[in-house]
């Protein structure tokens, strides 16, 4: 990443959202609606890690389809920039995240990628909420699905 590229990407996102954004100790938090997002500079190459809290925990009785889809989404990081999902073992929180390689980060493209990631995170949050309320993709055709093969249409993060 060229010097200042992560700052430029964050500034471009702030411009799109209509609010100034800046890193504080290599991280920045953003609320969109009721959903918190974190953008963090991380590791070698100054990559950006974007994450979103999508649920406080798994539903008590998740459907097999949900478990399969969540496990499939774990492979997102192996596919160069696709979003992935993880569960914090200490808190139970479920988070979606994506890693943007610093050497390929293009500031003007970052707001579009972030918006698509935010839409992915919202759909995943909705899916987990529907499961919590007793609706599953196994039994409810309207439940939204996401899988590693087609993570809700998110081959977008290739920047």
> pLDDT digits over 24-35, tens only?
999 999 998 888
Position 12 pLDDT exceeds 90? yes
State residue 111's pLDDT score: 92
Per 3-state DSSP, the chain is made up of helix, strand and coil in percentages (nearest 5) of 35, 20, 40
Domain ranges across the chain: 5-132
Q: Label the pairing between strands 35-42 and 47-55.
A: antiparallel
Cβ proximity of 101 and 118 under 8 Å: no
Cβ proximity of 126 and 144 under 8 Å: yes
Position 141 pLDDT exceeds 90? no
Least confident of 43-47, 66-70, 93-97: 43-47
Nearest CA-CA partner of 119 in 157, 75, 63 = 157
Domain 5-132 has CATH 3.30.70.20: no
Position 50 pLDDT exceeds 50? yes
- Between residues 128 and 149, the one the model is more confident about: 128
Position 4 pLDDT exceeds 90? no
State residue 147's pLDDT score: 38
The Cα–Cα gap between 3 and 129 comes to 41
What pLDDT, in 10s, does the model give residues 78-127? 665 678 899 999 999 999 999 888 777 788 889 999 999 999 999 999 99
Position 128 pLDDT exceeds 80? yes
Share of the chain above pLDDT 70, in %: 78
Position 56 pLDDT exceeds 90? yes
């Amino acid at each position: 990443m060229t010097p200042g590229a992560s700052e430029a990407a964050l500034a471009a996102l702030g411009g799109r959202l209509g609010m100034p954004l800046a890193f504080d100790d290599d991280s920045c938090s953003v609320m969109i609606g009721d959903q918190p997002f974190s953008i963090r500079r991380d590791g070698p190459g100054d990559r950006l890690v974007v994450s979103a809290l999508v649920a406080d925990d798994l539903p008590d009785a998740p459907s097999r389809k949900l478990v399969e889809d969540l496990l499939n989404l774990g492979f997102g990081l192996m596919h160069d920039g696709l979003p992935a999902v993880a569960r914090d073992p200490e808190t139970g929180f479920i988070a979606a995240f994506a890693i943007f390689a610093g050497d390929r980060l293009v500031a003007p493209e970052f707001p579009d990628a972030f918006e698509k990631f935010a839409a992915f995170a919202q759909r995943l949050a909705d899916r987990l909420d529907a499961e919590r309320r007793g609706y599953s993709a196994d039994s409810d055709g309207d439940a939204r699905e996401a899988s590693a093969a087609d993570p809700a249409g998110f081959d977008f993060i290739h920047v």
